[in-house]
Amino acid sequence: MKKREIINLGKRKRWGIWISKSDIVEYLRCGYRVFLSHLTGVPIEEMKDVNKIKAIIERGITFESKVVDEGRFKEVTSEDAIEENISLDIVLHTPVLFRNHELGIQGIPDLIDVQKGKLYPIEIKTHREVTNSDRLELAFYWILLEPYRKGKQKPKGYVLLSTGEMVEVLLTEDDLFEIYCFIDEIREVKEYGTYPTLSQECKLCNLITDCQREVAERGGLSLIHGIASIREQQLKTLGITNIADFAKADSLTLHTSWCSLTTNHPGLNEIGKMQLHAASIMTRKPIFFGESSSFNFCTQNIIVLDLEYDPVSYVWLVGLCIASQENQEFHQYFAEKSDIKEEKRILSSLIDILRSKPKYHVVTYGASADIPQLKKAWNRHGFSSDLWNQLEGRHIDLYTLILRSFRLPLTFYGLKDIEDYFGFVRKGDRIDGLTALDKYYQYVRVRKKETKLALKQELLQYNKEDIKATAFIVRKFKSFIGECIVKQPI
């Protein structure tokens, strides 16, 4: 990596605490880690479970390098070089640390579209659609480059997606105001500290056990599904500091107060479910508030489906269990390499089974992942739209159904959390989807037969255990309703 120079922009103010784009991104994930990193000097990446995020990091680095290498952007590594190009219509690759001394912020944009001094930031991303985080990052880089910009320009930037599409993102006053607020909040957190809060990000962090214990001991609001750091701060502003206060609050009054505070507030029904969750956690008892008829499928014939895939590439493993009341029949279709032909082969095998069992419910755990990915692959190969419509018509997402019907004395509702709650015991080591993806690409690359066989067996076992766990949970739920505190449907 080339030596990074510092380009000093704007007034020379002395800032004890500089805020970077990485601080913004990490603060949105976990403000507590930002504080600990500042306090101890330990990089945030060292607090994360490297094995779980390795594939994501490597994919990001590889994709950005490919874009830069193939894009033939002009690279600049000094302030003088940028000055020389400021009047041109050119895109620059800038491995340079910019500093805005007026605001005490610093960062390294991926690319800058100079456009004769307008300096539009460009971010390179491995995902397929622009996210809210992308918008915030562009807003940060927009104000970072402000002292160096020629004239007053309409705020905007671009996101280069994994699809190759360059998406223009117009930045609003609200976007810029939000970034200014985050900068102030992060500087305050670094200086004065904060408590840990729980979110899905915790599952990728080595601090999860300690943080869960601390949050539980103080009855932290982030124990409740739907409340993370931002909503917790909002509730504290409203005078609610723990789950006991939240559980006994009048829901209508709380909703009215929340609405007056921010546009980012939950609806009245969502608040009701949050209060039921608080009650479940405090009593250590499950609460059911759904329609019992929604669980009739639990005693019927089902196909449990689980996919493994690269979000920016292909499906590489299809696993399913054909489960009747008498027996379970497992099928797995594995792509020997990550390409479109292998994907078509394994999906064709899935289609054959779906056609042979037209009246079976198809059950997944987490429709926001597998089903959209399957639909993209389905369309990629031009498979029957009528068959897809039939699949959607008999599909049941167990995760969504649980959240719509139950609150359990748990913080998280992932498959591993629910299977532990019901006592399912896995065979072999427990891994996750990101680790599985990394192991799959090891399988594709490696040449030694014994190593390939071991990796393949591990991946097949991981997939099969997910399928078995989902089938196990399905069969539990119909009778489990009788063990719950029953409330009116919400």
| Same domain, residue pair 319 and 435 | yes
Supply the CATH number for residue 213's domain: 1.10.150
| Same domain, residue pair 318 and 390 | yes
- For residue 51, tell me if it sits in a domain: no
pLDDT at site 12: 43
Asked if pLDDT for residue 312 goes beyond 90, the answer is no
Query: Last residue of a domain, which of 169, 191, 213?
Result: 191
pLDDT at site 432: 85
Query: Last residue of a domain, which of 266, 284, 302?
Result: 284
Q: What amino acid is encoded at 322 in this protein?
A: I
The number of beta carbons lying within 10 Å of the beta carbon of residue 200 is: 10
Asked if pLDDT for residue 81 goes beyond 80, the answer is no
Q: What domain count does the chain have? A: 3
Q: What are the C-alpha distances in Å from 330 to residues 303, 333, 343, 463, 465?
A: 10, 10, 19, 11, 11
| Same domain, residue pair 152 and 106 | yes
Q: How confident is the model over 46-67, as a mean pLDDT?
A: 76
Residue 346 banded pLDDT, cuts 50, 70, 90: very high
- For residue 107, tell me if it sits in a domain: yes
| Same domain, residue pair 413 and 438 | yes
> Which long-range contacts (C-beta less than 8 Å, at least 24 apart) are formed by 8-14?
8/79, 8/99, 8/101, 9/98, 9/99, 9/100, 9/101, 9/145, 9/147, 9/148, 10/100, 10/101, 10/102, 10/103, 10/146, 10/147, 11/101, 11/102, 12/101, 13/101, 13/102, 13/104
Asked if pLDDT for residue 9 goes beyond 80, the answer is no
From CA 412, how far away is CA 49, in angstroms rounded?
18
212-241: per-residue pLDDT in tens? 999 999 999 999 999 988 899 899 999 999
Asked if pLDDT for residue 179 goes beyond 80, the answer is yes
Beta-carbon contacts of residue 348 (< 8 Å; ≥ 6 apart): none
| Same domain, residue pair 410 and 308 | yes
Choice among 62-76, 262-276, 341-355 with the minimum mean pLDDT: 62-76
Residue 8 banded pLDDT, cuts 50, 70, 90: very low
pLDDT at site 418: 96
- What percentage of the chain carries pLDDT values higher than 70? 95
More confident residue, 301 or 14: 301
**Which residue is listed with tokens 């719509």?**
404
From CA 325, how far away is CA 214, in angstroms rounded?
44
- For residue 1, tell me if it sits in a domain: no
Choice among 43-57, 269-283, 371-385 with the minimum mean pLDDT: 43-57
Q: How confident is the model over 58-86, as a mean pLDDT?
A: 78
Angle (CA) 443 449 454, round 5°: 60
Which of 253, 259, 204, 254 is CA-nearest to residue 224? 254
| Same domain, residue pair 304 and 277 | no
From CA 175, how far away is CA 445, in angstroms rounded?
43
From CA 195, how far away is CA 220, in angstroms rounded?
9
- For residue 265, tell me if it sits in a domain: yes
CA 482 to chain CA centroid, Å, is 34
| Same domain, residue pair 236 and 184 | no
Task: With beta carbons less than 8 A apart as the criterion, state whether 432 and 369 touch.
Answer: no
| Same domain, residue pair 297 and 154 | no
- For residue 70, tell me if it sits in a domain: yes
pTM of structure = 0.82
Asked if pLDDT for residue 5 goes beyond 60, the answer is no
**Which residue is listed with tokens 């939000």?**
178
Mean pLDDT estimate for the chain: 90
From CA 58, how far away is CA 478, in angstroms rounded?
43
Please tell me whether residue 220 adopts helix, strand or coil conformation.
Answer: coil
Angle (CA) 89 90 94, round 5°: 140
Task: With beta carbons less than 8 A apart as the criterion, state whether 455 and 443 touch.
Answer: yes
| Same domain, residue pair 180 and 212 | no
| Same domain, residue pair 321 and 411 | yes
- For residue 52, tell me if it sits in a domain: no
295-306: per-residue pLDDT in tens? 999 999 999 999
Q: How confident is the model over 150-160, as a mean pLDDT?
A: 92
Supply the CATH number for residue 113's domain: 3.90.320.10
| Same domain, residue pair 365 and 461 | yes
| Same domain, residue pair 141 and 181 | yes
Supply the CATH number for residue 391's domain: 3.30.420.10
Identify the DSSP state of 168: E
CA 188 to chain CA centroid, Å, is 26
Query: Last residue of a domain, which of 144, 174, 191?
Result: 191
Give residue 324's domain range.
Answer: 292-486
Per the document, the length of the chain is 490
Please, what sign has the CA dihedral across residues 351, 353, 356, 360? negative
- For residue 224, tell me if it sits in a domain: yes
Asked if pLDDT for residue 14 goes beyond 60, the answer is no
- For residue 248, tell me if it sits in a domain: yes
